[in-house]
Structure 1
Amino acid sequence: MRSARTLTAIAAAITGSLVLAACGGSAGGGGSNEQTENIALRMTIWTSNEDHLALFNSIADDYMADHPEIASITFDPLPFDDYTSTVTTQIAGGNAPDLAWVLENAAPDFVASGALMPLNDTLEATEGYDFDDISASAAELWTHDGELIGYPFSTSPFVTFVNDDLLAEAGLPSGAEMLADGSWTWEDVSAAGATVKAGTGRTGFVVRDFDYLNWDYLSTVWNGWGASPWNEDGTQCTFDSPEMTEAFEFLHDAAFTSSSMPGPGTSADFFAGEAAFTVTQISRANLLPEDGFAWDLLPLPAGPDGEYAVTGQGGVGVIAQGPNPQAAADFLAYFTNPESSEALAAYFPPPRESLLTVDVLSAANPLLTPEQIETVVIPGIANGQVRPSHTDAAQIAQQVRASLDDLWTPGADVAGVLGQTCGAIAPLLEK
């Protein structure tokens, strides 16, 4: 992966090119140099899933049937790990795509830099689009000065999958029974996980994709303590707050004292039956084995601050420096209209309030029961707080990861490490 210094240089190049383009009058869509026929659109994405691509191509084919000026629409899968750096390199190098998916942690840089074309005018002018149907909370990360800069095409809640067979083997109640009797808290889950580990040798709970590297996935835990890595406007570090300290003390105890979660260098795959609980997004339901264990889907466990929800999010935007920004914006309006959004809901939970229904989401997620959709998925989408994001995300992530390395050892000074983390990222937050 590229270093933070390289990503910062790329971001600076993007900003510089946008400033020059604005002076020349070609940025922002619909410039005089834009093609009007034989238009080839390219959209970068981070999935190569055949089912996803088939759906995208179907939507594109329907659009091109009524728009003869569009010669082709290509969906260009890029490797996930290098996705953002590859897109920014293409933009800075003059090979910008017309449209791009944007990861939530890169959203502030893309939204604030001018790299994406504002969408309000195009979407509001599109017949039948129903712009006001887009959830304000889902759109918050993608909005700047009242303009929607990126469409939040996927707002996927984090949930807890439970292996009820493994809990029963350890002599414990099921997940649903824990929830019903008021013992669905992080302390309860950790205690159950420790019992599973002691009684079966298998793992208690796993925060999937954390792996002691991707620290922002731990927001699915620390939000239960009312903690946050920085204040609301992102100018001050709050890793050293009492709430965050308590959350990390809980995680440290789970890893090194009670052994209710895997420690560094170890792993467990819930979907292979190796753990009692896992926190992940609902899209991972397709990993459940057809003839495996009895499982359930529950909300995130409550923390000392009460119940909460966390979502992951992906947006799609029109690259202002792309070859045909207005044509790309017009296609984006079709790709995200109510009908297309309902089709996309099969894989990507939509931000449209009218589609957050049991009927729509049950059809899109046949493995889940209507009750799970109604009590876990819909509230998670409607009320979830998006995982942490900030400008200069690459640099910040690198500094936080390096600082937190000192935390993942027995006997670590949790408060001291979190104070050092704030010292490392404070200059970046103040920019």
Structure 2
Amino acid sequence: MVHRRTLVPALAVLVVGSLAACGSADDGEAATPDSPVDLRMTVWTADESQLALFDEIAADYVEANPDTVASVTFEALPFEDYTTTLTTQLAGGNAPDLAWIFESSAPEFVESGALTDIRPTLEGTEGYAYDDLLESATGLWSDGEGLYAYPFSNSPFVMFVNTDRIAESGQDDPADLLAAGEWSYDAARDISAASAEELGGAGMVVRDFDYAGWGNLATVWGGWDAAPWSEDGTQCTFTDPEMVEAMTWFHDAAFAQGAMPGPGTSSDFFAGDVTMTITQISRAASLDGSFEWDVVPLPAGPAGQQNVIGQAGIGVLANADNPEIAADFLAYFTSPESAEKLAAYFPPPRESLLTTEVLGDANPLLSPEQLETAVISSIVDAQVKPAHRNFAQLDTAVRGALDEMWNPGADVEAVLGNVCSAIEPLLEN
């Protein structure tokens, strides 16, 4: 098994005892059960159509493997408390066999030893086509040569545009700017400010940010090649010139140029009074035909255009009762055939399935051209939103330190210095 780094304290405290008492799927110690087992996977979706699809795939697996598996149950946990509930189950010796994992928690789960290496099982499954998985999609879930979760959902962030508001305010169409190689954050800011001044409402909104969910600003600062911390997660980079420039741009766009609504203002693109919004492509389902719209990739910044995805993985818990069988089920659940079915809801990490035909079935509101330019191109070689092995504490600390930023007279560079002061001890740990 690949050597891991020091156990992450927050999760290791919960799982180390139970890990010591059992083998994992890749250490050769797991016993073969005498009778078919019941598998359990925790998820955070309560969508009946999604769960029905999961049940359909699982039923086919059980039918094909009656000697090893009696049932597969998908346990829906509340989204808001998902990770807390999952780690509580781990600590209580009630670990599920498989679990969805947020991208922000990926390093903690991967490095703590809570997950088993599924790469040998996936590679060894006939017809799995492991090489079809995008390297950019598996990176967050890898450690050395091992893969500790399958990146089952890869939803790109894009820019939705209200083309009625664009036309009514006499502004340049972002699609035309994209075709001319001029689609930039500066252009998006200027269009947004002008349309809001002309029509009222709001110009540009980073959805789910609301001056609190700072991780969503990765969709903006990527254009400056900025990041909150170093790649190894040990150094604060909020004070790097790239981040200072990106956050200064954002602050000015909101407070000086009127391109974005300020704190405390509720603006919903899908209600029709916002010119453009950065959000995940899955939000297209909220469009009701009340206005004309388009979708384009994220704009370019001074460092070029950077694609960003929100991601979730499925891992096999190392201290579950049957990790080897769970890994075999995961290979079936994420096979090329199953992944094509799941693409109806979850953009797959398989290069062969990133086609307008496959994704068109999942996104009937989008044209083939929109799928190609805004969706497929935004998944390949994309970066994932911020993640860290100590993310829960970092998230709270960054949010608190950034509060000083969200007023017109803020000293951006000084605030970012305070952010680093707040999080450096957490990064060192």
Is TM (by shorter chain) over 0.5?
A: yes
- What is the CA–CA distance in structure 2 between the aligned matches of 1:37 and 1:12, rounded to whole Å? 32
1:309 to 289, 294, 307: 307
1:45 to 28, 43, 46: 43
> Is the 1:18–1:114 contact (alpha carbons within 8 Å) kept by the matching residues of 2?
no
Once the two structures are TM-superposed, the CA of residue 33 in structure 1 deviates from its matched residue by 4.7
> Is the 2:101–2:315 contact (alpha carbons within 8 Å) kept by the matching residues of 1?
yes
How many aligned positions are there? 421
Once the two structures are TM-superposed, the CA of residue 179 in structure 1 deviates from its matched residue by 2.4
* 1:4 corresponding residue in structure 2: none
* 1:13 corresponding residue in structure 2: 13
Query: Which residues of 2 match residues 156-167 of structure 1 at below 5 A?
Result: 156-167=155-166
* 2:87 corresponding residue in structure 1: 88
Runs of 4+ in 1 over 4 A off after TM superposition: 24-34
Once the two structures are TM-superposed, the CA of residue 38 in structure 1 deviates from its matched residue by 3.3
Query: Which residues of 2 match residues 134-153 of structure 1 at below 5 A?
Result: 134-153=133-152
- What is the CA–CA distance in structure 2 between the aligned matches of 1:232 and 1:401, rounded to whole Å? 20
The Cα offsets for residues 52-107 of structure 1, whole Å up to 9 and x where unpaired, read as 11111110111111111322111111111111111111111111111000000000
> Is 1:405 paired with 2:419?
no
Could you say what secondary structure the match of 2:338 adopts?
helix
Task: Note closer, same or farther for the CA distance 1:32–1:167 as it changes in structure 2 (3 Å cut).
Answer: closer
> What one-letter code is carried by the residue in structure 1 that aligns with 2:175?
A
* 1:267 corresponding residue in structure 2: 266
Could you say what secondary structure the match of 2:313 adopts?
strand
- What is the CA–CA distance in structure 1 between the aligned matches of 2:10 and 2:427, rounded to whole Å? 19
Task: Note closer, same or farther for the CA distance 1:272–1:260 as it changes in structure 2 (3 Å cut).
Answer: same
> Is 1:118 paired with 2:117?
yes
- What is the CA–CA distance in structure 1 between the aligned matches of 2:388 and 2:335, rounded to whole Å? 29
> Is the 1:163–1:277 contact (alpha carbons within 8 Å) kept by the matching residues of 2?
yes
> Is 1:327 paired with 2:335?
no
> What one-letter code is carried by the residue in structure 2 that aligns with 1:14?
L
- What is the CA–CA distance in structure 1 between the aligned matches of 2:381 and 2:12, rounded to whole Å? 35
The Cα offsets for residues 280-328 of structure 1, whole Å up to 9 and x where unpaired, read as 1111111111x31111010001111111111111100101111221111
> Is the 2:405–2:411 contact (alpha carbons within 8 Å) kept by the matching residues of 1?
yes
2:52 to 54, 66, 78: 54
- What is the CA–CA distance in structure 1 between the aligned matches of 2:28 and 2:50, rounded to whole Å? 30
Deviates more, 1:171-180 or 1:78-87: 171-180
> Is 1:299 paired with 2:294?
no
- What is the CA–CA distance in structure 2 between the aligned matches of 1:334 and 1:29, rounded to whole Å? 21
- What is the CA–CA distance in structure 1 between the aligned matches of 2:249 and 2:379, rounded to whole Å? 26
Once the two structures are TM-superposed, the CA of residue 12 in structure 1 deviates from its matched residue by 3.4
* 2:365 corresponding residue in structure 1: 367
> Is the 1:142–1:152 contact (alpha carbons within 8 Å) kept by the matching residues of 2?
yes
> Is the 2:24–2:116 contact (alpha carbons within 8 Å) kept by the matching residues of 1?
no
Once the two structures are TM-superposed, the CA of residue 20 in structure 1 deviates from its matched residue by 2.2
- What is the CA–CA distance in structure 1 between the aligned matches of 2:127 and 2:78, rounded to whole Å? 35
> Is the 1:123–1:131 contact (alpha carbons within 8 Å) kept by the matching residues of 2?
yes
> What one-letter code is carried by the residue in structure 2 that aligns with 1:373?
L
Could you say what secondary structure the match of 2:304 adopts?
coil
% of aligned pairs identical?
Answer: 56
Could you say what secondary structure the match of 1:179 adopts?
helix
Q: What's the RMSD between the two structures over aligned residues?
A: 1.6
The Cα offsets for residues 20-48 of structure 1, whole Å up to 9 and x where unpaired, read as 22xx5467576455534231111111111
> Is 1:357 paired with 2:355?
yes
* 1:338 corresponding residue in structure 2: 336
* 2:129 corresponding residue in structure 1: 130
> What one-letter code is carried by the residue in structure 1 that aligns with 2:412?
V
- What is the CA–CA distance in structure 2 between the aligned matches of 1:375 and 1:196, rounded to whole Å? 25
> What one-letter code is carried by the residue in structure 1 that aligns with 2:12?
A
> What one-letter code is carried by the residue in structure 2 that aligns with 1:178?
L
> What one-letter code is carried by the residue in structure 1 that aligns with 2:198?
G
- What is the CA–CA distance in structure 2 between the aligned matches of 1:26 and 1:379, rounded to whole Å? 37
- What is the CA–CA distance in structure 2 between the aligned matches of 1:430 and 1:246, rounded to whole Å? 25
What are structure 1's unaligned runs of at least 5 residues?
Answer: 1-7
- What is the CA–CA distance in structure 1 between the aligned matches of 2:266 and 2:9, rounded to whole Å? 35
> Is the 1:29–1:326 contact (alpha carbons within 8 Å) kept by the matching residues of 2?
no
What are structure 2's unaligned runs of at least 5 residues?
Answer: 1-7
Query: Which residues of 2 match residues 164-243 of structure 1 at below 5 A?
Result: 164-243=163-242
Query: Which residues of 2 match residues 384-423 of structure 1 at below 5 A?
Result: 384-423=382-421
